[in-house]
Amino acid sequence: MSEIKNKITKLYYSIGEVATMFSVNNSLIRFWEKEFSIIKPKKNKKGNRYFTVKDIANFKIIFHLVKERGYTLDGAKKKLRENKDNTVKNVEIVSQLQEIRAQLVGIRELL
């Protein structure tokens, strides 16, 4: 997940860029957009989707719940409806712990 944090530097990202960040197919990004109301990409006249940093942060939360924690889509929706603030905090904590672990592994390899 730290890779995602480091890659966020532009205002808008294409669906392909977002899919690459999360190592998923474009179709999953489109599907989650339809399923979760918190994702609202901008669309141009051709219908191409452009995702903001906020959309990517919301994808990160959904990805964590569905792919990492094993929630069903309905379970993830319910969790976000009932307790979004705590869910966001938990995702941030997990992300920070993963970064710390990666740093410690790097230090161990240097020793």
In this predicted model, what pLDDT tens digit does every residue of 48-96 receive, in sequence order?
999 999 999 899 999 989 998 899 999 999 988 887 777 888 888 888 8
Of the CA atoms within 13 Å of residue 54, those in its CB half-sphere come to 6
Q: Quick check: 16 pLDDT over 80? A: yes
CATH code, 9: 1.10.1660.10
Checking 90-94 for CB contacts under 8 A at 24+ apart, the result is 91/60, 91/61, 91/64, 94/1, 94/64, 94/68
The boundaries of the domain holding residue 62 are: 2-110
Whole-model pTM? 0.74
Q: How many domains does the chain have?
A: 1
What are 17-55's pLDDT values in tens digits? 999 999 999 999 999 999 998 899 999 999 899 999 999
Q: What is the 3-state secondary structure (H, E, C) of 15-34?
A: HHHHHHHHCCCHHHHHHHHH
pLDDT band at 9 (very low <50, low <70, confident <90, very high): confident
